[in-house]
Structure formats: structure tokens, C-alpha cells
Amino acid sequence: VLDVPSPPGGPLKVAEITANTAVLEWRPPSDDGGLPIDNYIIEKLDEVKGTWSYAGDSGSPRCRAEIDGLIEGHTYKFRVRAANKMGKSEPLSMANSVLAKNPYRAPDRPEQVEIKDYDRDYVELEWKAPENDGGSPITGYVIEKLGKYSSDWEKAVEVPDGGVTTARVPDLIEGTAYQFRVRAINRAGEGDASRPTESHIARSKNQPPKIDRNYLSNVKIRAGLTFEFDVPVSGEPVPAKEWSHKDNMIINTDRIKVVYENYRTKLRVIDVKRADSGVYTLTAKNKNGIDIANVNVTILDVPAPPEGPIRHENLSKTGVTLMWRPPKDDGGSEILHYVVEKLDTDQLRWVPVGETISTKIRPDNLIEGHSYQFRVRAVNKQGESTPLVTSQPITAKDPYNKPDKPGKPVVVDWSDEHVDLEWSIPKKDGGAPITSYIVEKRPRYGDWKFAGEFTELYKPSAKIRELTKDEEYEFRVCAVNKAGVSDPSEPSDPVVCRSRFVPPHFNKNALKDLIVPVGKKIAYNISVEASPQVTAIWKRNGAVIPESQRVIREVYNNEVSLEIPFSVRDDTGLYTLIVKNECGEFSASANVTVLDKPSPPEGPLRITNITTEGCRLEWKLPKDDGGSPITHYVIEKMDMSRGTWTNAGMSTSLVN
């Protein structure tokens, strides 16, 4: 009789259990129902769910089956049914439930993953096998990589041999930063990933150093703050790096921190001071080369004090000029101005003098005889420096007097519109240098007026212009120093403003004919136009008139004169004036007649036609008519008996 089989023979045993699988074993049924057993059907009960479900079959009459699909940590019961062509038997069930768990676990993470070699497109990794293989031998490793621009780790290489702890990771992109990690594999699967390597940039292993200058920007900050540089440095082998400041290597101090990493270096300076300003140099070198980069750091602070000493000049009773030098250190920004203060030692209180953008100032309104201290501060955008103070008090007083008067000016050249003057310097300058000379002019019939101020000091001279032609001038000079203007010099000799080289010429009408009574003055005064001054020759009837006590001749400033105070009859004649200079000569003549009594008539006196009543007289003309025609003759007679002359008449002719 054919029937379904009897239940499989027990006990139903779990030969192996893992987190997801189980291997079940049992015995055949005691009755196969008259037909061969074709298969065994396995069901499972997940105690979490509480229902039986199909788990699998043996696929053959073999009394063993591997079940998968279990959930780790869940407890299960299993049952088995035998099946022939007539159907399924009743189940053989397990007495106790089993826990789905591995009898082993995934291996621990590998340790000490290091890059042992590299080039532009690969790395050679080496690691240490996990200390614990999880109870199952290591069968291989998986190497993962994380690129700089990737969001997730990706599998890079599989190592199929658990005994190998090195691997090459190929196909890297040059210039890209990567990290790498390793997982071990056993029957339980992949273990945890190792710690990732340091970031590695795919690059050639022989590369000269290169400092990333994008991280070196010039810095300008106020004193007391902090600056920091964090600079990537590439190169293979790893470059040696050094920071320096003003040619001195930088070392760690309480304010300065220097960090050197393989491909990066950091410099941090806190509580910065003005002395931290300057050029900072980063040097990187390896066997393939050297790279040097500079960065400028400016620490802004108040300036240093102005450089002393404070010097003074132009001291007077009311003011003084102060001078100093700029600070050695401007604090990193431009000096805007200087603040100056004064302290009257009688009052002991500092008061402002003023501000100046230069290194010079003149405080006025000082009190004569008072002593003063002065101090100066430099100012920039950060504030005021400490002051520079005068080393000794300065007493307000005049240290000099007016100069002596200069020497008498001398005319050295002239024309019809200018005069050139020279003079000697004053004997004393009054204690202060002569700064200029003031020249004054005076026309012949005028007052002294300003003619100009001149600064030729070594050999004092002046050219006075805009003078009036043919005008006579005098000039005088005053010296000037800081105390004022000296007394004027003695006036120069008069000079007529006319051309210097002029042939002589005068108005001939000025030399006119003269008729004077005897004993009266003969005088000529002729103005001559000439330069240089003329010499004069006076002639009478062609003969030079010598100078004597009776004849006065003069030439002064081209004024030629002749004077005979008491004329005599012999002074009558043709007078000629000849004037000469190096440019030529000029002459003119005039008649001078000295009137006097005529000389006696010329004899002999002939007497003819004598009668008792009269006689005829004849005589000759006088040799000298006295300068005017004979008007008549006076005839006298003498009675011999009486012995006296009496008038006998007059005659207009030579006969009577």
C-alpha cells in the first residue's frame, strides 16, 4: 500500500549556525510510504514573528540541508518533512530554539597603514594584519581610496591573499589629494576599515620644493594683535623648512610659535610689537632644489620720539625757530604732523605752541627775559609719540644788533638810465649775518627814496635802473640783518645819468660875445654834454690862457668855467673853448671886449698957421681907442705965464 512517508527520524540537529545560515541534520523516516524519498522540506519559526514559514529543501534524499536568510540575533525553531510521490510526511520538530549568530566574526581592522612608495599615478601601501582574525582566517583585503573631490570612499584594489599585506593602488590622478584605508576579509565578511592615511597628493617622488604663495599675503595690523601664516609646501622628498626674520632664524618663544609639518608650516605671533615688522622669509629645500618666499608684515604703532637734539636759531626777544629730525621709526604709517609745547620755567605749565607738518616751527609771543623748555611729539594715525624735550632752557632775548653802516658807494658804471654801484661791507655785522643791502637814491633837488634791495653779499654791488636821463643823482646804502636796517652810508659822489661814452658837445650860443668895462668880471660857465668827463683848454687870440691869480679856470661834472674877476684892457680878444675826452673834441669862440679910455693920440702934434688969434693943430689917431670909437678930442692950452692948462675946445677930427 503506497502512502506518504512517516516523519523523518530524529533528533533534528543544527550542525552549524551562523548569523544568516544554519546547517540541519536528521535521520530518514522509519517508513518511506512504499515509495523512495524524493526530498525533504524545511520550515522555520522566527520566534519574533511567531509563524512557520518555508525555509528551503534538501533538494535530494540526503538528510542534510543548508538554510540561509536568517536574521542575526533572532531565535529560530526548525522542522523537517519527508516527501515522496504521495506527499509530505508529518514534521520532525526541534525541541529547543537556536540563536542565529556566527560562531566567528569579521576580523579587526588592519593597523599601521603606510605609504611606502609612490609616483605621480600610484602608491605602494603596506599594513599590519589585524591582531584578531575574528575566529576565521583572513582570506584577503580590500583597499579603499577617497579623492579630494569625492564624497564617498570607493574600492580601489582587492588583495585575494590573506597572507599579503602590501598592495599597489594604480590609476591615481596627478595633483589630486587622496587618503587610503584597508579592510580585512574572512568568512564573516569585511572587517572595519583601518585608520585612513594622511592625505597624499599624487605626485612624482622627486620634486623640487614649492611654497604656496597664495597663503602668504602681506599683513598690516596694530600692535598688540596676532598674525598667523599657515602655508602649504610641496616637494619630494619632504622639504626641510625654516622661517627667518631680518636674517635671523625664528625659534619658539612665549610669543612666537613655529610648527613644521611634512607638507605644511605654521607661524603664529601674538601680542605683536613694532619690532616684529619687516620681511619674513620662508625657505624650503630638498635634494631637488630650494624655494624662498617673502612676506611683509607691518605692525602699526605710534611713532618713535622725534630725533634730537632740538636745535634753535633766529633767537629773539619774542620768538625762536626750533628744528629737529624725523623719528627713526614712523610706526608703520605716515607722520601726519608734530605737536609742539612750551613751558615757561616761571610758570611750570606746559601749553600748546602749535602743530606743523615740517620739522621746524617758530614759537612767537615769548616774553623777553623768560626761559622756556620745549617738547615735540610726532603724530601718526595711531596716536602721539613720547616727547623729545630740549636739553636746556632757552632764554628769549636778541643775540645781535643792527650792523654798522656800509662804506661809501662808488659809481663804477652808468648810462642814461642806470648806474652801477659798489661799496665795502660794514666793519661789524652786529652779530648776525648781513642778509641784504638797501640802496637809496636822491636827485639833485629831491629827497632820498628807495632804489632797491640787493643780496650780493660777497662783493656788494647793485645796478640801479629806471633813472631819469640827464638827472644828477646821489646814492647811499644801508645794511640789513636780523636786527634790522643799519644807518645809511655816506652819499656817493654825484653822477649825471647820461651815456658813459659821449663825444663832447655844448651849445655854442652859450659862448657869446662879451663887452665889459675895464675892471669888471669876465665870466663863462658852459655845460658840456660828454662822457667821460672832458678836459678844457681856453685860448685868447689863439694862445692858451694860463691859469693865474687873475684867471680862474674850472671843470667839474662837465661844467666848464672861466672867470677873470677884474678885467683889463689887455683881456680883450677872441676867446676859444676846446673841450676833449677820449671820444672826441668840440670848440667854439666868442669876442670879448674890455672897454677903457683910449690911449693918447699919436704924435707928433704939429702946429701950423699960427696967428695972433689962433693956430692949426694936427695929430694922429690913438693906437688904442679903448674898445669903442673915438667920439671927439679935448684940446687944452697952457698960458706959459700962468703955468696952468685950460680948456681950448674940442674937435671931432684929427685937425683943429
More confident residue, 653 or 317: 317
Q: Is the pLDDT of residue 487 over 80?
A: yes
Cβ neighbours of residue 170 under 8 Å, at least 6 residues apart? 121, 122, 157
Give the model's pLDDT for residue 633. 87
Contact by Cβ (8 Å): 568, 518: yes
Q: Is the pLDDT of residue 475 over 80?
A: yes
Give the model's pLDDT for residue 603. 87
Q: ∠ CA(151), CA(152), CA(155), 5° rounding?
A: 140
Q: In the predicted model, what is the mean pLDDT of the chain? A: 92
Cell reading at 65: 540541508
Domains of the chain listed by start with CATH number: 8-100 (2.60.40.10), 111-202 (2.60.40.10), 207-300 (2.60.40.10), 311-396 (2.60.40.10), 410-497 (2.60.40.10), 502-595 (2.60.40.10), 601-651 (no CATH)
**What's the burial of 478, exposed, middle or buried (CB within 10 Å: 0-12/13-18/19+)?**
buried
Q: Rounded to whole angstroms, what are the CA distances from 40 to 77, 83, 106, 319? A: 16, 6, 33, 128
354-373: per-residue pLDDT in tens? 999 999 999 999 998 999 99
Name the amino acid, one letter, at 107.
Answer: P
Contact by Cβ (8 Å): 81, 90: yes
Strand, helix or coil for residue 213: helix
Q: ∠ CA(116), CA(117), CA(123), 5° rounding?
A: 105
Cα 73 to Cα 513: distance, rounded to the nearest angstrom:
168
**What's the burial of 564, exposed, middle or buried (CB within 10 Å: 0-12/13-18/19+)?**
buried
Region for residue 255 given its phi and psi (left: phi exceeds 0; alpha: psi -120 to 50; beta: otherwise): alpha
Contact by Cβ (8 Å): 602, 633: no
Mean predicted confidence (pLDDT) in 496-524:
90
Give the model's pLDDT for residue 187. 84
Cis bond before residue 61 (omega within 30° of 0): no
186-208: per-residue pLDDT in tens? 988 899 999 999 999 898 888 89
For residue 621, give the nearest of 632, 637, 610 by alpha carbon. 632
Cell reading at 571: 683881456
Give the model's pLDDT for residue 414. 87
251-305: per-residue pLDDT in tens? 999 999 999 998 899 999 999 999 999 999 999 999 999 999 999 999 999 999 9
Cα 357 to Cα 339: distance, rounded to the nearest angstrom:
9
Cα 565 to Cα 550: distance, rounded to the nearest angstrom:
7
Lowest mean pLDDT of 58-62, 254-258, 377-381, 638-642, name the range: 638-642
Cα 598 to Cα 619: distance, rounded to the nearest angstrom:
15
Among all chains, which residue has been given the C-alpha cell 602608491? 123
Lowest mean pLDDT of 379-393, 513-527, 615-629, name the range: 615-629
Mean predicted confidence (pLDDT) in 435-439:
95
Strand partners, 617: 607
pTM of the model: 0.40
Lowest mean pLDDT of 26-35, 382-391, 445-454, 630-639, name the range: 630-639
Q: Is the pLDDT of residue 456 over 90?
A: no
Region for residue 115 given its phi and psi (left: phi exceeds 0; alpha: psi -120 to 50; beta: otherwise): beta
Cell reading at 136: 576565521
Give the model's pLDDT for residue 656. 62
Cβ neighbours of residue 556 under 8 Å, at least 6 residues apart? none
- Percentage with pLDDT > 90 across the chain: 73
Cα 390 to Cα 388: distance, rounded to the nearest angstrom:
7
For residue 26, give the nearest of 58, 74, 72 by alpha carbon. 58
Contact by Cβ (8 Å): 587, 506: no
Q: Is the pLDDT of residue 347 over 70?
A: yes
Q: Is the pLDDT of residue 74 over 90?
A: yes
